[in-house]
Amino acid sequence: MTTTLIGAALLVLLPTAPADAAGSVRAVHGAGVPVTGVLARQEALDRLADEITRVPEHERALVPGYAGHTVDPRRGHLDLYWHGGIPDRVTSVLAAAPTGITSAVHEAPYSLRELRAGRDRLVGAVVHGEAGAVWTSAGPVVDGSGLTVTYTPDTPDTADTPDGARRHGAAIAGEMSARAAELAGVPVTAVVAAASVATATRHSDASPWSAGAELTTPGNGWCTSGFGGWRGTTAVLLTASHCGTSGTYRTGAGAVVGTAADSDTGLDTTVVDVTGSPSGKYFDGGWDDGTGFAKRVVGAGRNNVGDLVCASGAMSGVHCSLRITATDVAAEVNGQWRTDLDTATRTDDSTVAVAKGDSGGPVVASVNGGADMQARGIISAGTGNPVVCGSVAAQTTCWDSLRFVPIGPIVSKFGLSLA
């Protein structure tokens, strides 16, 4: 596909975007000159995406016509999917992108607003037990073509041959897609996947408190501390609500951290009032590394499909080069439906994405090549495929993907100022 660059007197051969079937490429912007460093390109792409939508991540559905976008930090490229006419302002923003950042605009069959409404109708059917629904997650396809849902089969596949099994599985998937599409009112692709599993086990933290430390929950379970900050004049730490919504949290060594003061189970977040103050840092390194490996957190950012992020948990340590593969996902986590989750998957099969015990831990992204990191969310669940854990604090289960709650709605809901 050869396309004329807008604002540049040359031609460039661009590879077809993975979701290009949703619509033709309307325009391509940028000069295609490489920018030094993957993380530098990601930072430029994220700024460009923010300027396009101008709203927090969880409010992108309010932008008329917006369907989704992906970023590719390795190429320095952004694909934007839009339903209907593209505002002149957006065209101008893309045309003014930094040298070395390219973008393409694609037609989308549906807006994000329409797809989220369909997602919510589907979740409502599950929650209220309608039509025997057995879906475990639902979220928009980033190109605006419909929804992807996951489900657990009612019965195991008993076909006698591999080919028969494939045909039998395809038939079930087709039935599930049709059932979900009827309720959602938009096209649906259904795939088999296990339900997400909450990931609720650095051992002895103290004030000033850092994210990524081991927490002993009010129910004597293991979780991980999230970002620290302030709620008015009260110092707080975040963690996952499935770790506990009331009672006292302690360090792995048993010292009191603080008391659960507020929570939102839909956001899978608990706010813990703490004695002392937050450090504004998170533990960066293996699960057995100490405070010498703490790294500074600077502000909060929005998540984009294609972003590379890191997750830090007390059970399994830090894992980076996790690629965000989906946003705006609703998923059932241990019997509780949670909305507006994001999904990140490992890009290196020599590591893991998350382990049980990492719940509540921070998800971060680089803002200046790695010296400082930006808050992106807190870990909610493991998903995808179980994988060999490697070095962990205790015997546990690990996955190749994780679901996390984006930081934007958390800050907005609880009125937080991150440290």
DSSP string of 70-122, one letter each residue: EEETTTTEEEEEESSPPPHHHHHHHHTPPTT-EEEEEE-SS-HHHHHHHHHHH
Q: Are 7 and 98 in contact (CB under 8 A)?
A: no
337/385 same-domain check: yes
How high does pLDDT run on average in the chain?
86
Q: In the block, which residue shows the tokens 């992906």? A: 70
Among the three residues 143, 171, 192, which one is the final residue of a domain in this structure? Answer: 192
State residue 215 phi and psi, 5-degree precision. Answer: -120, 135
Q: Are 396 and 389 in contact (CB under 8 A)?
A: yes
Q: What is the pLDDT of residue 288?
A: 81
**Is residue 9 pLDDT above 80, yes or no?**
no
Q: Which is higher by pLDDT, 342 or 197?
A: 342
Q: In the block, which residue shows the tokens 């396309």? A: 3
User: Number of folded domains in the chain?
Assistant: 3
- Model confidence pLDDT, tens digit, residues 106-149: 999 999 999 999 999 988 887 766 655 578 899 999 999 999 99
Residue 84, Ramachandran bin (φ over 0: left; ψ between -120 and 50: alpha; else beta): left
Q: State mean pLDDT over 152-160.
A: 53
**Is residue 344 pLDDT above 90, yes or no?**
yes
Q: Which is higher by pLDDT, 72 or 156?
A: 72
Q: What is the pLDDT of residue 32?
A: 46
Q: What is the CATH number of the domain that holds 267?
A: 2.40.10.10
206/285 same-domain check: yes
Q: How far apart are CA 406 and CA 327, in angstroms?
A: 9
124/103 same-domain check: no
Q: Which long-range contacts (CB under 8 A, 24 or more apart) does 114-117 make?
A: 114/83, 114/186, 115/67, 115/140, 115/141, 115/144, 115/146, 115/147, 115/186, 115/328, 116/61, 116/140, 116/328, 117/185
Element (DSSP H or E) covering residue 229: strand 228-231
Task: Place 22 in a pLDDT band, splitting at 50, 70 and 90.
Answer: low
Q: What is the pLDDT of residue 388?
A: 95
- The closest of 133, 134, 141, 14 to 69, measured between CA atoms, is 141
Q: How far apart are CA 42 and CA 47, in angstroms?
A: 9
Among the three residues 192, 215, 250, which one is the final residue of a domain in this structure? Answer: 192
351/220 same-domain check: yes
Q: Which is higher by pLDDT, 191 or 359?
A: 359
53/164 same-domain check: no
> Which residues sit opposite 377 in a β-bridge?
406
Task: Place 27 in a pLDDT band, splitting at 50, 70 and 90.
Answer: low
170/216 same-domain check: no
**Is residue 47 pLDDT above 60, yes or no?**
yes
In this predicted structure, which of 103-107, 124-128, 198-202, 212-216 has the lowest mean pLDDT? 198-202
187/204 same-domain check: no
Element (DSSP H or E) covering residue 48: helix 38-53
Among the three residues 72, 107, 142, which one is the final residue of a domain in this structure? Answer: 107
Q: What is the pLDDT of residue 154?
A: 58
180/134 same-domain check: yes
Q: Which is higher by pLDDT, 171 or 80?
A: 80
- The closest of 280, 329, 335, 282 to 303, measured between CA atoms, is 329
303/182 same-domain check: no
378/247 same-domain check: yes
70/154 same-domain check: no
Range of the domain at 99: 2-107
298/264 same-domain check: yes
In this predicted structure, which of 148-152, 181-185, 269-273, 372-376 has the lowest mean pLDDT? 148-152
- The closest of 2, 6, 4 to 96, measured between CA atoms, is 6
Q: How far apart are the first and last CA of the chain?
A: 47
Q: How far apart are CA 383 and CA 379, in angstroms?
A: 11
